[in-house]
Amino acid sequence: MSFISALFGSKKKETDRIAILNKEEYKEAIEHKNIQLVDVRTSLEYTSGHIKNALNIDFFNANTFQREFEKLDKDKPVYLYCRSGARSQKAAYKLLDMGFTKIYDLKGGYNNWR
């Protein structure tokens, strides 16, 4: 066990279920129909521009976040993004705690997408 993982704990098991995809990988993955694509930014950020067919579930609204994600299929992959990648990464760990099995995150977020 390394010094860092001893200090902060190991996320190895969890990160096996969270994949960070670059723009090209993400774009290819979400081209398929019937995917769970979620923008975790605020509604104001979402209305200023978003990826086509993305649901908007605001990370900062804890009640709505939990309730809306409970409606999704935990056994199907979820594709997340936010503005820069920080919020969606936090959201990904929340989803693991909720029982989601595979989560994909857009590297660099929507800023990288445009």
Number of H helices, E strands in the chain: 7, 5
The catalytic residues are 82
Checking if the pLDDT of 10 tops 60, the result is: no
What is the torsion angle, in degrees rounded to the nearest 10, for the CA atoms of residue 23, residue 29, residue 33 and residue 37? -60
- The predicted model scores a pTM of 0.86
pLDDT on residue 44? 98
The token pair at 1 is 């066990």
- If pLDDT is split at 50, 70 and 90, which confidence band does 32 have? confident
- Express as a percent the part of the chain with pLDDT over 90: 82
Average pLDDT, the chain: 90
Q: Which fold has domain 17-113?
A: Oxidized Rhodanese; domain 1 (3.40.250)
The structural domains of the chain, with segments of one domain joined by +, span 17-113
pLDDT on residue 16? 85
* pLDDT tens-place string over residues 64-109: 999 999 999 999 999 999 999 999 999 999 999 999 999 999 999 9
